[in-house]
Structure 1
Amino acid sequence: MSTHAPNEARIIPLRPQTSPPGSAGATRAPQQPSGAPETPAPREPLWRDLIGDALRRERLAQERTLKDVAETARISMPYLSELERGRKEASSEVLAAAAKALGLGLADLLSLAQDELARYARSQVGQSQVGRSRLGRGRTSPTTQYDGLCLAA
């Protein structure tokens, strides 16, 4: 049964609020049970951040300039910069062009980003004692059991 009023819209934020507590734009956080330590949940990386990091790492490893890669990919230099900083969500065509300009295939670029995401997931499983206790003895966590790439549109 729902706990909200029938004519009241529920708002589910996609990102945590960053305004300081007590400011006019801040939303009220749910109450912690008494005695529970306040630990902020780590922010899960966004796909655009992972892709951008992979693009920048590869470009710097090749000692190429932003201008050079942007011209080769036939995309604007400011747009490529925005991609590398995780500010823009690129289409698959743009990602393929940027990857090709770096001598990679689209699958290679996505694999680099997936490796980072898998590394993040493993570090979170390693830090989570609650997750381990629920799995039972002798079982592995779902994130360490499967090491594959899944993309959904």
Structure 2
Amino acid sequence: MRHGRGETLDQTARRAGISPQYLSEIERGVKEPSSEMIAAVTGALDITLVDLVGAVADRLGTVRETVRDTLGQATCRAAFALAA
């Protein structure tokens, strides 16, 4: 979402009150943010938690279709279990 808005890590991180390095780690899946950090980032992006969850669901749906096309239904369920 940050990329879609044309924002830099610095801009979004500053508004969220976190370091750009930490935001980068969240985006890359290196860090698992607390609920407070998620709230700070969604606030900085001026989106709701519902917007964020919807975007994640859309992305997982895309991953699901790719996995299904490539590896079949059973592997798709395993990928969703790992994502959860």
TM-score by length of 1: 0.44
- For 2:20, give the aligned amino acid: M
Q: Deviations over 1:38-89 (max 9, x none)?
A: xxxxxxxxxxxxxxxxxxxx11221111111111111112111111111100
1:81 match:
24
Equivalent of 2:37, from 90, 94, 110? 94
TM-score by length of 2: 0.74
1:121 match:
64
Structure 1: runs of 5 or more not aligned = 1-57, 132-142, 144-151
Radius of gyration: which is bigger? 1
Aligned residues: 75
Structure 2: runs of 5 or more not aligned = 78-83
Identity %: 39
Q: Deviations over 1:115-147 (max 9, x none)?
A: 11112112333442xx4xxxxxxxxxxx8xxxx
- For 2:49, give the aligned amino acid: L
- Do residues 63 (structure 1) and 10 (structure 2) align? no
- Once the two structures are superposed, the pairs formed by residues 2-81 of structure 1 within 5 Å of their partners are 58-81=1-24
RMSD: 2.1
4+ residue segments displaced more than 6 Å: none
1:103 match:
46
More helix by percentage: 2
